[in-house]
Amino acid sequence: MDEQHQRRILCVGGSLNQTGILHKITRNLPDVDCRFTPFFAQGFYAFLAKTGALNYTIMGGAHRRATLKYIRENNLVLDEEARQGPYDLILTCTDLIIPPRLRESPIVLVQEGITENEGLAYWLVKNLRFPRVMANTAATGLSDAYVYFCVASAGYRSLFIHKGVDPRKIIVTGIPNFDHAASYRNNHFPYRGYALVATSSIRETFGFDDRMAFLRKAKSKAGKRRVIVKLHPNEDQKRAEEEIRQVFPDCLIFHEGNLHEMIANCDILIAQNTSAIFTAVALRKRIYTSIPRKTLRQLLPQQNGGVSAERIAEVCRKVLDTPPVLERHPKRIFGRSLFPDLLEGL
């Protein structure tokens, strides 16, 4: 295809998990010009990001640094903040905020992992039309600004339909990183037979987290096993380590590393709210978490041998080959936002 007519996709990364998912998809699109950007915003959120107030979100801090490092190390083409647009397609793992610069292109949304519970913030989004970002991943899919929404499983499809997502837009593809849990058994992590404690960045995303109560529960469940703690990359790690040492003075604490591989080698997993819980479910590990195991099994991402990226790439090709008629301002599932432009509530 002539270069000037080559179709172009922009992948909007965020967390390292999101960026890795999008990269796996683009490997199945070798004839498409695929470029990457860390997650960004415009308007009020962009102002907050520049002040450092959002450093514990995917708009700054560790997430942004990790995404840029990943793009650089994998020799991907960087188009920071989509300044080289417009694009034929936007590929993203979140629709909580959609910058105006991306709204004129068709969007394929890909589920990134586990979604949060429908708590008070979700109620405010649904009933009082607060900005979706307040409900975090509980509000995933509610923008209706995309052509298709690729989801992890039939169970998640039902959940999103229950929330009001248009069922005609939902395609069950499975999701990369969570579709072949058995592959994580082949690893070089040196430890075996331990209790693994996985923390989350609940406080950093303005949720309530009684961390000390969680750690005391973890101690009771671990028993006499060796304890390994994997910190969430986006939490205040200095604070977290100080808290952990009060309960587990001699445990191993990992700030980095592949959590899926750690799960594959553990005896039990004690976790808060992390997508990697699904890896433990698929590998039939003993799990202690606040999410009922029945719910986890219902939502478990398809274990399809790692072909989710290929399936999502086929969805992208469908959009590229048959571009939809786009609305300049897509409808909002819960009606017009009370915070239309200042906070990009969408």
Domains of the chain, CATH where assigned: 3-178+302-321 (3.40.50.2000), 184-299 (3.40.50.2000)
The region of weakest confidence among 92-101, 176-185, 205-214 is 205-214
> Sign (positive/negative) of CA torsion 77, 36, 28, 33?
negative
Res 327: pLDDT: 52
Residue-wise pLDDT tens digits, 323-335: 556 554 445 454 4
* Mean pLDDT for the stretch of residues 183-197: 97
Asked whether the predicted pLDDT for residue 345 surpasses 70, the reply is no
CB-based contacts of 47: which residues, under 8 Å, 6+ apart? none
Place of tokens 């699904």: 278
**What is the 3 state secondary structure string of the chain?**
CCHHHCCEEEEECCCHHHHHHHHHHHCCCCCCEEEEECCCCCCHHHHHHHHCCCCCCCCCHHHHHHHHHHHHHCCCEECHHHCCCCCCEEEECCCCCCCHHHCCCCEEEECCCCCCCCCHHHHHHHHHCCCHHHHHHHHCCCCCCCCEEEECCHHHHHHHHHHCCCHHHEEECCCCCCCCHHHHHCCCCCCCCCEEEECCCCHHHCCCCCHHHHHHHHHHHHCCCCEEEECCCCCCHHHHHHHHHHHCCCCEEECCCCHHHHHHHCCEEEECCCCCHHHHHHCCCEEECCCCHHHHHHHCCCCCCCCHHHHHHHHHHHHHHCCCCCCCCCCCCCCCCCCCCCCCCC
Of 52, 55, 56, 69, nearest to 13 (Cα)?
69
Q: Classify residue 167 as left (phi > 0), alpha (psi -120 to 50) or beta.
A: alpha
* Mean pLDDT for the stretch of residues 134-151: 94
Asked whether the predicted pLDDT for residue 175 surpasses 80, the reply is yes
* Mean pLDDT for the stretch of residues 112-127: 90
* Mean pLDDT for the stretch of residues 19-28: 97
Res 342: pLDDT: 42
Higher pLDDT, 107 or 333: 107
Res 61: pLDDT: 80
Higher pLDDT, 56 or 6: 6
> What single-letter amino acid sits at 311?
R
Length of the chain: 346
State percent of the chain over pLDDT 90. 71
Q: Of 113-117, 150-154, 206-210, 231-235, where does the model show the most confidence? A: 150-154
Name the pLDDT band for 62 (thresholds 50, 70, 90). Answer: confident
Res 324: pLDDT: 56
The region of weakest confidence among 185-189, 230-234, 239-243 is 230-234
The region of weakest confidence among 63-67, 74-78, 309-313 is 63-67
Res 325: pLDDT: 60
* Mean pLDDT for the stretch of residues 243-267: 96
In angstroms, rounded to a whole number, what is the distance separating the alpha carbons of residues 196 and 329? Answer: 45
Its pTM stands at 0.89
Count the alpha carbons within 13 Å of 250 in the hemisphere toward its beta carbon: 3
